[in-house]
Structure 1
Amino acid sequence: MSKANISQLIRIALICICSCLATAGHAQVTRMEVIPIPSVTLTDQEFLSGREDGKPVTVAGELRIPRSGTDRLPLVIMLHSSGGVGSSVTDWEEYFLSLGVATFVIDSFSGRGIVSTINDQSQLGRLAQTEDAYRAMAALSKHPGIDPNRIVLMGFSRGGQNALYASLSRFQRMHAQPGTQFAAFIAFYPDCTYTYLEDENVVSRPVRIFQGTADNYNPVAPCRAYVERLKTKVNDVQLTEYAGAGHFFDARALKQPQQLSQAQTTRNCLAVEVESGLVVNARTRQPFSYSDPCVERGATIAYDENAAAKARQAVGEIVRAVLKP
């Protein structure tokens, strides 16, 4: 491992330790580990072509164990949004720990030298976090404190898109370690404006999407259309919509709505994979990029107490049913 990667992991470890100490009064945590995950950085074309020979990178994750003992515990792996690991992820950590479920939050940015992709999404392929998620699942399946058969994947916004499409059987075949499988997929306000080859063929596990009807960052309509397509082949897929709720409706830190004036959004785009690895703008039929005219700037993020409470209850129900903590 290079000196730069070692320094990066030390910095992440210090951040994680401080975070753990800061939240120790809110949730039972008997052990916290910072675990390096060897991964690769792939462009979307490389990922969709099934390549695994991208630029090597070490991403780190924070594993929190809710209780002592020798039991192999259930786990929720979480993927952050375009802004990186934020307080809303910490809120969910505390909730899962209170249920007796371990948590692992992957930082897909720091090891790659990225702070945020909000204003420039081209810094990292849209599916890079899916690769990280599969590799984290493979590593944590061997952890003595984790039950490999009870691991759920959850993501938010950009991370939600990855959590959603990690359920594709095609992606699983190409990129996941044989014998490993997520127990469920939970996506909060994902971007569903992308259509991939064979995206109606998902693994036989529960898929849950949570989105607000007032989301002007990742509008609900494309996800609604995708779920309708999925339901022709899949039984256990659900989209839950919250009337009037916007993007990041579960983030308590956003009680005062924030305007992200330069945030890139594909809300008016349609990107389609027409052949393996080639994603085009559905309207122009040209290779899709963030310089396309359909890509706009400006979005609102805001907390919605009612939607957040209902979503937490719904997520708790699926986690209890699937993971049986």
Structure 2
Amino acid sequence: MKLAKIAVFTSAFLIGHALACPMARSQSGGTTVELETPLASSHPLQGYLRRSAGTGPSPAVILLHSCNGNWRHIDERWGKRIASWGYATLSVDSFGPRGIKTCRESATNDFHVDAYRALHFLAQHPSIDPARIAAVGFAWGGLSILSAVERGTIERASPDKFRAAVAFYPPCANVKGDLTVPALILIGERDDLNSADECRNMMAGRDGWGISRRKDRDIPIKLVVYPDAYHAFDAPALKTPRDLSGHQFRIQPVGGRASGRGAA
């Protein structure tokens, strides 16, 4: 399974759930934007916005980086690609404005609120259709977006709503509640940082504590497990495998069929 195939699979999900748009091959460059003026928080939030090359209000995708704060790489890897599909994209920088480099340096764990701060920014933008905004997160960012769309106080309090969510290799054990939008989870069977089995348990409505989301809800969730993939399988820089803190990081190899599972 090459990155191109993963991209096609992801695009099919986004097109289906964020509503189809004309498939644009051209795209414009991006600009750095401040997401709140005046600031609604002691921590300002910024991002990199790429507008769709199409005419009229466009669908949009928010991109949430991992715990390593690699938002520029996320924009280069996925922001450009998704913009070429006819979406506007907003790659959120949760760490730079807070003066931190990793999530472990912060005393707060409310970064999933950043997803709604970005959503509110896009929903007010004249070139964006507020009813067609999805979010894609990576690892810790994947957990952030899944947490953001869990049924609960934060989701109910927001006047703006997401249309769909995609999580690449998230720590699924931390997802306990029912989700409110269609979601796609992509993870490698050999991921030794975030377990594919935890995602299977989440899909099945079970975990080690007997507390998890309920099965057979009306909101569809699809889990795709790549049998030969490790953590960060979509990162081109990992063509040469790396071992970080005892965990293996490498790009998805050619070959190996993904196994898919859906829950309604």
TM range (shorter): 0.7 to 0.9
Taking structure 2 as the reference length, what is the TM-score of the superposition?
Answer: 0.77
- Superposition pairs of residues 215-294 of structure 1, within 5 angstroms: 215-229=191-205, 230-261=214-245
Letter in 1 for 2:197: A
Q: CA RMSD in A?
A: 2.6
Shift of residue 73, structure 1, vs aligned partner: 0.6
Name the residue aligned to 1:291. Answer: none
The answer to whether the 8 Å contact 1:250/1:308 transfers is no
Of the three residues 132, 135, 156, the one matched with 2:114 is 132
**CA apart distance, 1:209:** 0.4
For residue 158 of structure 2, the aligned residue among 170, 177, 185 is 177
Counterpart of 1:65 (choices 51, 60, 71) is: 51
Partner Cα distance (1:109, 1:253) in 2: 21
Question: 1:1-325 residue pairs with structure 2 within 5 A?
Answer: 28-38=26-36, 56-67=42-53, 69=55, 71-84=56-69, 85-117=71-103, 121=104, 123-126=106-109, 128-173=110-155, 176-178=157-159, 180-194=160-174, 196=176, 199=177, 201-203=178-180, 205-229=181-205, 230-261=214-245, 298-306=246-254
| Number of aligned positions between the proteins | 225
Name which one, 1 or 2, has greater alpha-carbon Rg.
1
Q: Is the 8 A contact 1:187 1:208 kept in 2?
A: yes
Secondary structure class of the residue paired with 1:193: helix
What SS does structure 2 have at the residue aligned with 1:214? coil
Asked whether the 8 Å contact 1:249–1:307 carries over to 2, the reply is: no
**Does the 8 A contact of 1:88 with 1:250 survive in 2?**
no
Report the alpha carbon displacement of residue 202 of structure 1 after superposing the two structures with TM: 2.1
Inter-CA distance 95–185: structure 2 relative to 1 (3 Å threshold): same
In structure 2, distance between residues paired with 1:168 and 1:100: 27
Whole-angstrom distance in 1 between the partners of 2:217 and 2:128: 32
Determine if contact 2:63/2:135 at 8 Å carries over to the other structure.
yes
Identical pairs, percent:
32
**Aligned-partner SS, 1:210:** strand
Change (3 A) 1:124 1:89: farther
Q: Which amino acid aligns with 1:245?
A: A
TM-score by length of 1: 0.63
Structure 1 residues 181 and 154 mapped into 2: Cα distance closer, same or farther (>3 Å)? Answer: same
Shift of 1:68: 5.5
Q: Is the 8 A contact 1:88 1:253 kept in 2?
A: no
CA contact (8 A) 1:231 1:237 kept: no
Letter in 2 for 1:216: D
Aligned partners of 1:240 and 1:210: how far apart in 2?
5
After superposition, give the CA deviation of every residue in 1:162-204 in whole Å (9 maximum; x if it has no partner): 1112111204445x522x11010100000122254xx1x321x
What is the distance in 1 between the residues matched to 2:256 and 2:90?
21
Alpha-carbon distance in 2 for matches of 1:308, 1:206: 26
Query: Given that residues 227 and 258 in structure 2 are in contact (C-alpha distance below 8 angstroms), is that contact kept between their aligned partners in structure 1?
Result: no
- Structure 2 portions without partners, runs of 5+: 1-24, 206-213
8 A Cα contact 1:76 1:152, kept in partner:
yes
Once residues 93 and 135 of structure 2 are traced to their aligned partners in structure 1, the CA distance between those partners, rounded to angstroms, is: 14
Unaligned runs of 5+ in 1: 1-26, 40-52, 262-297, 315-325
Change (3 A) 1:30 1:195: closer
What is the rounded CA distance, in whole Å, between the counterparts of 1:307 and 1:68 in structure 2? Answer: 35
Structure 1 residue 135 displacement after superposition? 1.1
